Amino acid sequence: MKRFFLMLIITITVGLAGCGSDSPRTTTAAKTNTAPGPATEVTQPAAPAKAAQAKAAPVKAAPAKAAPAKAAIVDSSYSTKRTEFVKEHGQAPKYKDSKNPLSPNTENITAGGILFRTRCALCHGNKGKGDGIAGGSLNPPPSDLSKIAAMKVATDGYLFWTISEGGGKLGTAMPTFNIMPKEERWQIILFLKSEIAGK
């Protein structure tokens, strides 16, 4: 089941990364080792050259777009679409009064941490800063959960709503996790509040 969610997130991320303009793309190959060093760039042409054009002057590839700086993901540009929505329209009635039924004990927080790392960290990063490896190409970028989870608006119901329904209706790439057992969603919330919020 964990593999299914991980593969689902990866598939969605890869699909979103493939969306965009028809201009030539420059992609960075994934590193297969942990040794430091530059990533290899692979340039793909927009369309095959015609024979007549082959004899003409060489065609230069369009310059690669610069990758967003890490700071852009962590600072005030992180996604606040849900908090803005709540300020304007209020919280979803279905979740507004929801309270976490689980005790914030070590067992539940640890389980929530494992779930967070397997289902959320790919986009949000291990510390919830919005700097996960799959989140860099998303627009808006993933939320900095260390800030969001510490906000007054981030009640149990708000966080449960976010995890359950994702961000599709709000224009973000946050997937829905409503098929995840409720207990697991509540464990992730305990972990967020205990280990991520305000840190």
**55-99 pLDDT, tens digit each:** 444 444 444 444 443 333 333 334 567 777 777 877 778 888 999
Report whether 174 contacts 84 (CB < 8 A).
no
pLDDT at 8: 52
pLDDT at 89: 78
Q: In angstroms, rounded to a whole number, what is the distance separating the alpha carbons of residues 179 and 83? A: 24
pLDDT tier at 167 (50, 70, 90 boundaries)? confident
Residue 165: is its pLDDT beyond 80? yes
Which DSSP symbol is given to 135?
T
pLDDT tens, 9-45?
Answer: 555 554 444 444 444 444 443 433 333 333 333 334 4
Q: In angstroms, rounded to a whole number, what is the distance separating the alpha carbons of residues 130 and 145? A: 7
> To which residue do tokens 């939320």 refer?
143
Q: In angstroms, rounded to a whole number, what is the distance separating the alpha carbons of residues 88 and 73? A: 24
pLDDT tens, 143-152?
Answer: 899 998 998 8
Could you tell me the pTM of the whole model?
A: 0.59
Report whether 155 contacts 122 (CB < 8 A).
no
Give the chain's length: 199
Choice between 20 and 142, residue whose per-residue pLDDT is larger: 142
Sign for the pseudo-dihedral over CA of 174, 180, 186, 189: negative
Residue 124: is its pLDDT beyond 60? yes
> To which residue do tokens 């890869």 refer?
14
Q: For the domain 79-96+103-196, what is the CATH code?
A: 1.10.760.10
Choice between 173 and 89, residue whose per-residue pLDDT is larger: 173
